[in-house]
Amino acid sequence: MIALSLAEIAEAIGGELRLAGTDTAGTVVDGTVDTDSRTMGPRSIFVAKPGAETDGHHFVGAAVDAGAALAIVEHAVDVEVSQIVVADAVVALGALAREVVRRVREKGDLKIVGITGSNGKTTTKNFLARILSDEGETVAPVKSFNNEVGAPVTMLRVTETTRFLVSEFGAAAPGSIAHLAGLVEPDVAVVLMVGMAHAGGFGGIEETAKAKSELVAAARATGTAVLNVDDARVAAMRDLAESRGMRVVGFGQSPVAEVRAQGIEVSASGTRCVIESAGRSIPLDLRVLGAHHITNALAAIAAAGVLGVSAEDAVARLETVEIAERWRMQPLGNERVRIINDAYNASPDSMAAALRTLAQITGPDERTVAVLGAMSELGESAGEEHDRIGLLAVRLNIRRIVVVGPEARRLYLSAVGEGSWDSEAVHLPDQDAAFEYLRSELRDGDRVLVKSSNSVGLRHLGDRLGELFS
């Protein structure tokens, strides 16, 4: 974080400053800001966030032992450290992020990109950060830090020398993206897609679309909206962007896209296509598996272009990326048994894309094996969407469908009903049972996809299988 005095921080977050030791109102802090006491270092700020399972106030002492010089708390604690008492620690965290970004923007040439979408946010963030890092100091979230805590924590990593801030915005509820994006007012607003992910929490896909459009509404009116023109709900956000005076850049496979892909080819070694931009044709050889990641690459190339990076440079940098992120289409195993661990998250769209990729990269003498868990946060659509994935797996001729956990049983029943009989589809109660089954079932030539929502935890099963066949 940039250097700020205790008094400046207290004013920014509207809290009551209580000094300790030799501190004065002018004492300066400039270290890490986080809700995790384990990340503290010299002159850090610990935000004591109450939680469902534990209370950050219990860890103020540990944070101070690790180097924290200030605690932001909702009630004073009996620890020898200066404290700022606020009504809501998470709101205070956001307010501090807003102030820090404002100051950096005033003094420098900081450009901010906001990314949202039902799928692909983290991959696109990683792609764009890779492209921009060669242009100047770039701050981007660790993993999927895109909520009311993770997004501000990322914002607070900017300093006077930061040139680009790439923010990822998830939507926990209507208004979430508006709040988070409103903290920084991005110069570039990237909307990837509107899908069924989290639709249960919004009351349907149209409400999800409204939530995603909050990013366009919160961006700077002098900025640019980078929109997926292949998704009708995203493409419709052009009207909102143009009504605010924003420039619009479209990406996708449609002929109307300013940055588009043609000739997509998927193999076990990656994904190839030709990028068309400003009258130029640029071959892209992406090491990341899956045709759906071309959409994420297009978004990153388009956003980088808005910030002055040529498509040729953007493509060259993307070709150095080996995996999108751990547990996202991550290749494991060996030549005999290849494991694709894509179980960090799952929605109907990403589940379908992963299954299609599995089918595409498996040769005629190889066997497809899909290890599937439940998709969460689908609300009333959960049963229907699990049915759809079971049907798709059979229609793609996935040879072994291994369904794990009681929440995914309907997927298994759907596959059986579609004709996956005679042990082609099995239902197992948990990860341990699945591991034991797969250890004896997998054979040379198998290509294995592991896919589920994060809450199911099949990513750990994918890791175990990767180690088994390493």
Which residues participate in the annotated binding site?
Answer: 117-123
Measure the CA–CA gap between 69 and 95, rounded to whole angstroms: 19
Q: Check: CB of residue 91 under 8 Å from CB of residue 102.
A: no
Half-sphere exposure of 367 (CA within 13 A, CB side): 13
The Cα–Cα gap between 218 and 241 comes to: 10
- In what side-by-side order are the strands of the sheet with 247-252? 138-139, 164-168, 111-116, 188-191, 224-228, 247-252, 259-267, 270-277, 280-286
Sequence letter at residue 365? D
Task: List 276's β-bridge partners, or say none.
Answer: 260, 281
Among 141, 163, 468, smallest CA distance to 325 is for 141
Q: Which residue has the tokens 């030791």?
A: 21
Binding residues for ATP: 117-123
Write the CB contacts of 371 (distance below 8 Å, at least 6 apart in sequence).
402, 404, 434, 438, 448, 449, 450, 451, 458, 461, 462, 465
Tokens of 317: 């940098």
Q: What tokens does 342 get?
A: 């894509």
> DSSP code of 325?
B
Q: Tokens 């924290």 identify what position?
A: 68
User: Using CA atoms in the order 318, 319, 322, 324, what is the torsion angle rounded to 10 degrees?
Assistant: 30
* Alpha-carbon span 381 to 361, nearest angstrom: 30
* 224, two tokens: 């640019």
Q: Are 101 and 184 in contact (CB under 8 A)?
A: yes
Report the distance separating Cα 385 and Cα 414, nearest Å: 10
Q: Are the beta carbons of 434 and 404 closer than 8 angstroms? A: yes
Torsion sign across C-alpha atoms 50, 55, 61, 65:
negative
- From CA 369, how far away is CA 450, in angstroms rounded? 9
Query: Which tokens in the block code for residue 177?
Result: 């993206």
Q: Which amino acid, 368?
A: T
Nearest-angstrom CA–CA distance, 190 and 228 = 8
Beta-ladder partners of 116 = 191
